[in-house]
Structure 1
Amino acid sequence: MKRIFLLLTFLLSFVQMRADEGMWLLMLVKRLNGVDMQKQGLHLTPEEIYSVNNSSLKDAIVSFGGFCTGEIVSDKGLILTNHHCGYDAVAAASTPQKNYLNDGFWAMKQNDEFNAKDLYVRFLVRMDDVSSRINAKLNNDMSAADRKVVIDAETKAIQAENSENGKYTVVVKDFFNGNEFYYFVYQDYKDVRLVGAPPASLGKFGGDTDNWEWPRHTDDFTVFRVYADAAGNPAEFSDKNVPLKPKHFLPVSLKGIKPGDFAMILGYPGRTNRYLTSYGLQQMVMKDYPAWVDASKLSMDIMKKYMDKNMATKLDYASQYASVANYWKNRQGTIDAVEKNNTITNKQNEENEFRKWALLPGNTMYDGLLENIGAYYKQISKRNVERNYMSQLQRNAKYIGVAYSLGSLLNTYAEQDMAGRIAMKPKVEKAVDEIYEDFHTEVEGEMLNSLVNLYQTRVDRDVAAPTVMNLDANNLSNIAFSSIFANRASVASFILNPDRLKLDADPLLKIAKGLMTDQRLSNERFAKVDESFAKNNRLYLQGLMKSQPNKSFYPDANSTMRLTYGTVDTLPIRTDRDYHGVTENYYTDMAGMVAKYKQGDEEFDLPQRLMDLHNMKDYGQYADAAGYMPVNFLTNNDITGGNSGSPVIDGDGNLIGIAFDGNSEALSGDIVFEKDWQKTINVDIRYVLWTIDKFAGASRLVKEMTLVTDENTPQDTKAKRK
């Protein structure tokens, strides 16, 4: 009965939701008839968005590498995603002599397409609701361990029932803090190749200064292609593979956009915490995020110091630096936005209403939950700060991770007899090559010293890892340089003469193992309070949904495919911003970008070719009807990290842009949807095509696509889709 009530609440809330809020599971579109979407301007049927038996929009959307989103835009498997999503692949293909990251890369023929090693794309085959099946075997009196046993057993059974003997990857996820469960069937393709990327001066135009800001003028896209075997099945990289013929691809619209136009985004948003309590919010913005900002800023400064000295270092650390910088600005922006938007106070007001509801007859099982949750955050506050400093230490000080991952492999290698070592040696050498491919000892030595010193200074000793607190932070780099794991050469020397006693005595490996032990003991120490919190949090959300039957409740993002819809929208003009002549604040143009141009500036330089084409107004068929060359535009869609590269789709199913960022006014958006401020910043697809065609001369790629102009009716477009 409880499950039925939750489902009815969920369905009712969808009908009454705001058009621009929520990240929705695709299978619910049909169940809910998509009424609200159709009122906003959608011309597709629910089956054309999500279908198991026929091709639909979902078949053109991929999880890109597990960290971004991409879309198929041709019948030859051509993929568009963001420049920052393809950044690692472009950097890996680059050398100081052929700096594709700086100069751009374009495969002028198919044979030039570059193997993006270790990159994969994931297609959603189908999904289904297994809440009733799993919840029937659970109850609120179960311990966390008992719940896990049941959920793991059902997950294993569901995977076996749906994987078709390994053909598909099956993932079971919980939603609404463990109140509901769905499974997802995926097919992964591992032969993905780099096809094109604009130079960094376009793909990263504005750099850290413009990141999370509007107005924006960034050409944030890259082009890839997915390959398959001759039968269209996933296959490892091979010269015999052919471009995948997808079940569906997105036509590309040249019609242009205006405020109020329908816009939906499909993608793989990573993580939101929309149902976080005020206690959790206070911990996050007052303790956790400041620790993250502190440690990540130090990491950035160290990387930048060495990147500015050497081009090879700059290429090898470009992707890591960009990722850390992005999160650093996001975390600090979230702190600022929560304070500015009174987010904590608004949460507290909602919780006070819940407390009143919980006192009513029939609701007493929910009374006291918030007080218990508040007590939990007091207990784990220092522990959470420690975790944030530790996460940055382990993420950015590579020596620790290298020692741990290679240590286990080298130990197994050393245990073998001669025949076993000969057989295992290629695998070990491959792992070593991959790990040290972008590894610079000077950077890593200083990173280890500095982050350990910061940890020792900032973390309360009561919750700190003893292994870290007992280290001599000023001498760690010397210890690392004397280790087996100091560099590629020292590991290669060990491979030639493996010695288990030497490995066991290695100082870096001892540190890595000590950290693992410390973390295990910390988890055990806090296991009971964490278990109690998980139960209270699950019951609180269950009660919150019951207490507000007319409110929109949708599941938090968790890296599963979602749909968000809304319209092309504007932001109020701000007096502290220069809009370079644009008075309708929903788009930017090339004139505004050129106005930002600063010769030789790392963030605001521009290629001479773009300047020349702009001066001649050589925009081709990609110019707006008003004569300008569009660059970026705004919608009020609800997205988060993981949506990077997601397609922005019009009411007829055509691609109009690529989502790539949010705005600073609503950086608290992962916690609460700021309806007056929250926008998505998108690359106008016309600017993408102009870059490919007019700027780069890679017109063969545009010829692959189905272009939709004003002369095409929705019916024509639909015919092309099918």
Structure 2
Amino acid sequence: MRKLSLSLLLPALFCINAHGDEGMWLFNALPTAQLKQKYDFDVTQEWTNHVRLASVRFNSGGSASFISSNGLVLTNHHVAADTLYKLSTPQRNIADEGYYATSPEQELKAPDLELNQLVAIRDVTEEVNASVQEGMPAGEASKARQAAMARIEQQSKDESGLRSDVVTLYGGGRYHLYQYKQYTDVRLVWAPEAKTAFFGGDADNFEYPRFCLDVTIFRVYENNQPAKIEHFLEANPNGAQAEELVFVSGNPGRTQRILTAEALEYQRDHRMPRVLDLLRRKEILLQQYALGGPEQARRGHDELFGIQNSRKAYTGMLEGLQTPGFINRKQESAAALQAAAGSDSAWKTIAAVQQKRIELQSRTGSLRSQLYGIAEDLVLMAAEDQLSSGERLREFRDSNRQSLEQALFSPAPLYDDLERVQLADELARFAETRGGSDSLVQQVLAGKSPRQRASELLADTQLFDVAARKKLAAAGTSGIANSQDALIQLAKILEPEYRALRTLTEELDEQERQAYATITEAKFSAEGESVYPDATFTLRLAYGAVKGYQEDGQDIPANTTLGGAFEHETAHGKTDDWILPESWHAAREQLDASTPFNFVCTADIIGGNSGSPVIDREGKLVGVIFDGNIQSLTADFYHSETQGRAVAVHIAAVLEALDKVYDAQALRQQIGH
């Protein structure tokens, strides 16, 4: 299950040539020749527009699709999990027990979901690049470029009313304006039990064969009525057969496929080991918290799941980087590009940037705590609002205000005991990273232990209360300056270091951006422009065939069946994570055991593709991506379809379960209509 988690923090870079079914393609630059040659498929503009407009992005991380004219949206249970936990209570654990709204009145409004539909794309490369003059220092160039992007975004939003994001592609080689229709009234319609959505638990995660009903259905509303959707996916219950062509339309998070060898070495030797240490630390912390009782286990479950998922994914990615031949091949391939560029200066720049990143590793100016994050945003927002929109940090621009406020003022529950545990650990980690004698550490801890300081801070904050957050935000700089809130005061202490580190990081990013733009142009010159950019959590189209593979001398079938789920349960002794819900056992005699359950294909996916619709040649829905197998975990850096596979829930299983397990025939009939 590909939760984005920390993977979205990775830098978005650029392109590589595609081999086999490789590629996460831009909707305005699809590989028409490759599809025609290999699969005899003609890409039409009508088909492309329909698929694009039927696709949905969960702004919190993940993908989805419209599946009815009255606003139904299909995604993964694990993409929906954050919302399911926020809607749960000690008395009604929706995340575990599932939910079905049998009438519109029972559909539960999500506290802070934003769904995005990509309406239009425009190339704005010339406008962005015109803002940067030759010879500008990196810091000035970064500010000029960001100001130009902000100006384009604001003008687009003012003219269209749409969310407008300038997306950096090919590491800075191209800039495209993406315009989105936003849906912020999103309501839960149906979710299965966690026991079937994550059947097999962590042991089966990133494995195959799988038997998971990892799906959830929401509905989007406009003006308090179900939204009227023109472009939605009809279901093909028969699905795609083995060797047939399928497409995946989703929002892959981040890939780094043409990092230079030096940048990959930085990831291998420095960044990824540190991220893994952080994930292991947080995993143990939340496991210990869960031992406090059933309610603690419920409160921390979703975050623990995400951390365990990320830990397993990063382990696989790091293993790929630790294979010596991979980076050696990168070094060898660089020579041809350097010849095309006429210089190796871009590569030297990137190598120098990596050394500077290593030097910054021991500095940090922020804390990974949800409530502290709210305090930090309030402090930064007050200061940023004194600047023109184009001069602000990107997340505080006027064009992003709706999304910012929806998250900042979310009514979703925050738990005092969980926040205390996490804040104490963050304070301890802050001291460990910078050193206990560091003057900023001493100022932050104020003579207390991390645990004592966390308790003191949370006892003296009002930020658990949404109304207090809104009041403080409305008061602006004077409100922040005069606030006696302990977390606000802490954020003010850390603000100078946060800003200093962000400035340094943005300067390094700009140096890399200019270097990678040079490399990109060399690649275009040498190989043509039929290449795809690295993933940027924006809409892409991947393609491949439904296809099994071999592992340890065994043939792994392209699909599993509903009947196989019961066999898998029995084979594992009906214990721990291998226990199907009671609803499944009650319906077993009615279920068609031969119905396809999960299947694999060679399409190129990564974290962020979770929830992506799998579509056949006719543009009909045949499945929903929810995972990749263990062999696919190198996808951040390279795609291999020898064994690597994308894993999806078959639409036939969704329809069969709605009909016979969940007695949701009325919902089933809406799908595709």
- Alignment TM-score, normalising by the size of structure 2: 0.84
Q: Within 5 Å, give how 1:622-637 maps onto structure 2.
A: 628-637=594-603
Distance 1:117 1:437, change over 3 A: closer
2:665 equivalent to 1:686: no
Cα distance, 1:458 vs structure 2: 5.0
Cα distance, 1:220 vs structure 2: 0.8
What's the CA shift string for 1:281-317, capped at 9, x where partnerless? 1111221111111122221222222224333333333
What's the CA shift string for 1:167-223, capped at 9, x where partnerless? 212222221111111111211121111000000001111222222222222211100
Give the whole-Å Cα distance in 1 for the aligned partners of 2:220 and 2:444.
49
What residue number does 1:611 align with?
585
Contact 1:254 1:686 in 2 (8 A): yes
2:572 equivalent to 1:567: no
Distance 1:435 1:68, change over 3 A: closer
> Higher relative contact order at CA 8 Å, sep ≥6: structure 1 or structure 2?
2
Contact 2:462 2:485 in 1 (8 A): no
Give the whole-Å Cα distance in 1 for the aligned partners of 2:127 and 2:407.
45
1:553 is matched by which residue type in structure 2?
A: V
2:360 equivalent to 1:383: yes
Cα distance, 1:539 vs structure 2: 1.9
Distance 1:585 1:108, change over 3 A: same
Distance 1:161 1:276, change over 3 A: same
What residue number does 1:372 align with?
349
2:33 to 12, 32, 35: 35
Q: Within 5 Å, give how 1:696-707 maps onto structure 2.
A: 696-706=662-672
What residue number does 2:566 align with?
594
Q: Within 5 Å, give how 1:245-260 maps onto structure 2.
A: 245-260=228-243
Contact 1:163 1:170 in 2 (8 A): yes
Give the whole-Å Cα distance in 2 for the aligned partners of 1:458 and 1:310.
31
Give the whole-Å Cα distance in 1 for the aligned partners of 2:203 and 2:156.
47
Q: Secondary structure at the match of 1:22?
A: coil
Segment of structure 1 superposing worse, 282-291 or 42-51: 42-51
Give the whole-Å Cα distance in 1 for the aligned partners of 2:439 and 2:505.
14
2:58 equivalent to 1:64: yes
What's the CA shift string for 1:451-487, capped at 9, x where partnerless? 433444355799x893379737972222232336556
Contact 2:112 2:412 in 1 (8 A): no
Q: Secondary structure at the match of 1:563?
A: strand
What residue number does 1:236 align with?
none
2:102 equivalent to 1:104: no
Contact 2:436 2:442 in 1 (8 A): no
Give the whole-Å Cα distance in 2 for the aligned partners of 1:437 and 1:153.
33
2:515 is matched by which residue type in structure 1?
A: N
1:663 to 629, 638, 641: 629
Cα distance, 1:154 vs structure 2: 4.3
Q: Secondary structure at the match of 2:77?
A: coil
Q: Within 5 Å, give how 1:449-460 maps onto structure 2.
A: 449-458=424-433
2:22 equivalent to 1:18: no
Distance 1:468 1:58, change over 3 A: farther
What residue number does 1:517 align with?
496
Contact 2:248 2:541 in 1 (8 A): yes
Cα distance, 1:319 vs structure 2: 2.4
What residue number does 1:225 align with?
219
Q: Within 5 Å, give how 1:473-622 maps onto structure 2.
A: 475-483=449-457, 485-486=459-460, 508-524=487-503, 531-546=510-525, 548-549=526-527, 553-574=531-552, 583-597=555-569, 601-614=575-588, 616=589, 618-620=590-592
What residue number does 2:661 align with?
695
Distance 1:163 1:479, change over 3 A: closer
1:540 is matched by which residue type in structure 2?
A: I
What residue number does 2:643 align with?
677
Cα distance, 1:527 vs structure 2: 6.5
Give the whole-Å Cα distance in 2 for the aligned partners of 1:493 and 1:159.
30
Segment of structure 1 superposing worse, 126-135 or 681-690: 126-135
2:180 equivalent to 1:186: yes
Alignment length, in residue pairs?
631
Contact 1:436 1:487 in 2 (8 A): no
Cα distance, 1:516 vs structure 2: 2.1
1:348 to 302, 309, 331: 331
Give the whole-Å Cα distance in 1 for the aligned partners of 2:597 and 2:656.
10
Contact 2:117 2:180 in 1 (8 A): yes
Contact 2:374 2:408 in 1 (8 A): no
2:612 equivalent to 1:640: no
What's the CA shift string for 1:149-178, capped at 9, x where partnerless? 554454455445543546212222221111
Give the whole-Å Cα distance in 2 for the aligned partners of 1:128 and 1:696.
44
What's the CA shift string for 1:657-703, capped at 9, x where partnerless? 00111122231211222243332111111111122111111111111
Q: Secondary structure at the match of 2:457?
A: coil
1:265 to 241, 245, 248: 248
Contact 1:278 1:348 in 2 (8 A): yes
Give the whole-Å Cα distance in 2 for the aligned partners of 1:86 and 1:664.
23
What residue number does 1:46 align with?
44
Cα distance, 1:534 vs structure 2: 3.4
2:445 equivalent to 1:471: yes
Q: Secondary structure at the match of 1:181?
A: strand
Q: Within 5 Å, give how 1:166-177 maps onto structure 2.
A: 167-177=161-171
Larger radius of gyration: 1
What's the CA shift string for 1:536-585, capped at 9, x where partnerless? 23323332443x4169621111122111111112221236xxx8xxx552
1:298 to 263, 277, 281: 281
Contact 1:399 1:480 in 2 (8 A): no
Cα distance, 1:398 vs structure 2: 3.7
- List gaps (5 residues or longer) in structure 2: 1-14, 384-404
What residue number does 1:441 align with?
416
Q: Secondary structure at the match of 1:184?
A: strand
Cα distance, 1:594 vs structure 2: 2.3
Give the whole-Å Cα distance in 2 for the aligned partners of 1:222 and 1:22.
27
Distance 1:335 1:432, change over 3 A: closer
What residue number does 1:421 align with?
none
Distance 1:71 1:385, change over 3 A: farther
Distance 1:118 1:545, change over 3 A: same
Give the whole-Å Cα distance in 1 for the aligned partners of 2:381 and 2:332.
54
Segment of structure 1 superposing worse, 90-99 or 536-545: 536-545
Cα distance, 1:142 vs structure 2: 3.2
Contact 2:112 2:407 in 1 (8 A): no
Q: Within 5 Å, give how 1:235-246 maps onto structure 2.
A: 241-246=224-229
2:309 equivalent to 1:326: yes
Q: Secondary structure at the match of 1:187?
A: strand
Distance 1:341 1:162, change over 3 A: same
Q: Secondary structure at the match of 2:648?
A: strand
Give the whole-Å Cα distance in 2 for the aligned partners of 1:491 and 1:40.
57
Give the whole-Å Cα distance in 2 for the aligned partners of 1:489 and 1:177.
38
Cα distance, 1:611 vs structure 2: 2.9
What residue number does 2:619 align with?
653
Give the whole-Å Cα distance in 1 for the aligned partners of 2:454 and 2:547.
53
Contact 1:484 1:491 in 2 (8 A): no
Distance 1:17 1:542, change over 3 A: same
What residue number does 2:373 align with?
401
Cα distance, 1:377 vs structure 2: 1.5
Segment of structure 1 superposing worse, 314-323 or 256-265: 314-323
Segment of structure 1 superposing worse, 282-291 or 335-344: 335-344
- Alignment TM-score, normalising by the size of structure 1: 0.78
Cα distance, 1:518 vs structure 2: 1.6
Distance 1:431 1:24, change over 3 A: closer
Q: Secondary structure at the match of 2:239?
A: coil
Give the whole-Å Cα distance in 2 for the aligned partners of 1:167 and 1:152.
21
Give the whole-Å Cα distance in 1 for the aligned partners of 2:464 and 2:615.
52
Distance 1:193 1:602, change over 3 A: farther
Contact 2:461 2:485 in 1 (8 A): no
Identity of aligned residues (%): 26
Give the whole-Å Cα distance in 1 for the aligned partners of 2:150 and 2:408.
35
Segment of structure 1 superposing worse, 634-643 or 133-142: 133-142
What residue number does 2:265 align with?
282
